[in-house]
Amino acid sequence: MSKKTTGKTAPKSAAKTKTAAKAKAAVKSSKKTATKKFDFGGLSEDLLLRMHDLMVKSRVLEERVIKIYKAGEGYFWIGGPGEEAFGVPLGLLVRKGQGLEYDWMHLHYRCTPTMVALGMPMIEATRLMMNRATDPSTGGRNFAGHYCFPQWNVAPVTSPIEVQYPLACGTAHAQKRAGHKSISIVTGGDAGTAEGDFATCLVWASRKGQELPVLITVQNNGYGISTPYDGQHGETQIADRAKAFNIRSRVINGNDPVESYLAIKEEMEYIRKTGKPSFIEVKVSRLYGHSSADGANRKVELFDPVMEFEKKLLAAGILTEAEVKKVWEIYEEEGVKAQEQARGEPSPTAESVWDHVYVNNENADWRKF
């Protein structure tokens, strides 16, 4: 009976297997053809999906903290929605750790995508936004986006613009003296390059025979708060200013995560190999304006790097609609839970106002001056 059954079904089974194989090959071929239509620079599907996942997470987090601000549960918002296609690749390429053998980061207040890529949970950005005493960066005493993670060599983000540039030269100098292949990375906005601190960085990073291993980046979103780029710059490209110091420089489309990833990787490898600085000007979108000071409303006319990258992955068959929906839902749920958790946590006490400020120093209390 068994033999009889086997004998009758074997051809059908073989045919079924053959059909399935054909279907699989057709899907594979179709996917290959679709992928070929898009230039992913040779990056693996796993990496493309990882970047998309982190870009979505960062966007959901930024929109969550904007909602917190608009609901009256936060005092001020500033952040980086629109910079995910640059910030996420940067975070993925950093040698993360504490100490001179790892990379140092001197970021500015639009760095949430980089922090998310480094592994920062949503709850930490939410605590900072809601000024909770549990906030690990500032104890609830600074603005949104002002991170400080010493365990990852993330130096405190400052409110005064561009002071981070010469500081990056300091850690790069220490790294060079220690003889490691680690580098310092600095980010900032285009308008801030008018500050003397920016010029100081170019000088100290490029002195002949004493060049420093620093990756200098400028995220150019086309505005200095409300002033258009043309109203504040005489140079065509900010990157041209680096050339005057013999610093290798380039301009990239920071709305394309693949271009960003490849460019950052190439420049990091150059710096680690030569010990010399490199400069990247990154063209990005400013999707929600400068800050809550101008409303923090979505600028629908601007290029959205997350949605455009997502469309490409869908068209290439690397993502499905169901997978996209799931990713957004997972992070939306995490964002809501983070807000609910932070809502129940304490605010800083009056007694803690001098904590971490010139500790035990006479300058800690201005009332005693």
pLDDT tens sequence across 321-339: 999 999 999 999 999 999 9
Residues 83 and 56: beta-carbon distance below 8 Å: no
* Paired tokens of 319: 């993502």
Task: Give the span between the Cα atoms of 264 and 247, in whole angstroms.
Answer: 15
Q: Max alpha carbon distance in the chain (Å)?
A: 101
Q: Exposed, middle or buried: residue 289 (CB in 10 Å: 0-12, 13-18, 19+)?
A: buried
Q: Mean pLDDT across the stretch 151-173?
A: 96
Q: Which of 264, 307, 254 is nearest to 284 (CA)?
A: 254
- Mean of the per-residue pLDDT values for the chain? 91
- For residue 7, pLDDT over 50 is answered with no
Q: What is the band of 38 on the pLDDT scale with cuts at 50, 70, 90? A: confident
- For residue 30, pLDDT over 90 is answered with no
* Helix (H/G/I), strand (E/B), else coil: 345: coil
Q: What is the pLDDT of residue 20?
A: 59
Q: What is the pLDDT of residue 355?
A: 76
Q: Mean pLDDT across the stretch 254-264?
A: 98
Q: What is the pLDDT of residue 3?
A: 39
Instruction: Spell out the residues 6+ positions from residue 114 whose beta carbon is closer than 8 angstroms to its own.
Output: 87, 88, 90, 91, 94, 105, 107, 187
Q: Mean pLDDT across the stretch 202-213?
A: 98
Q: What is the band of 2 on the pLDDT scale with cuts at 50, 70, 90? A: very low
Task: Give the span between the Cα atoms of 298 and 302, in whole angstroms.
Answer: 9
Distances (CA, A) of 221 to 52, 86, 117, 189, 226: 21, 12, 21, 8, 11
Kindly report the three-state secondary structure assignment for every residue of 128-187.
HHCCCCCCCCCCCCCCCCCCCEHHHCECCCCCCCCCHHHHHHHHHHHHHHHCCCCCEEEC
Q: What is the band of 67 on the pLDDT scale with cuts at 50, 70, 90? A: very high
Task: Give the span between the Cα atoms of 162 and 212, in whole angstroms.
Answer: 18
Q: What is the band of 357 on the pLDDT scale with cuts at 50, 70, 90? A: confident
- For residue 35, pLDDT over 60 is answered with no
Q: Mean pLDDT across the stretch 246-252?
A: 98
pTM of the complete model? 0.88
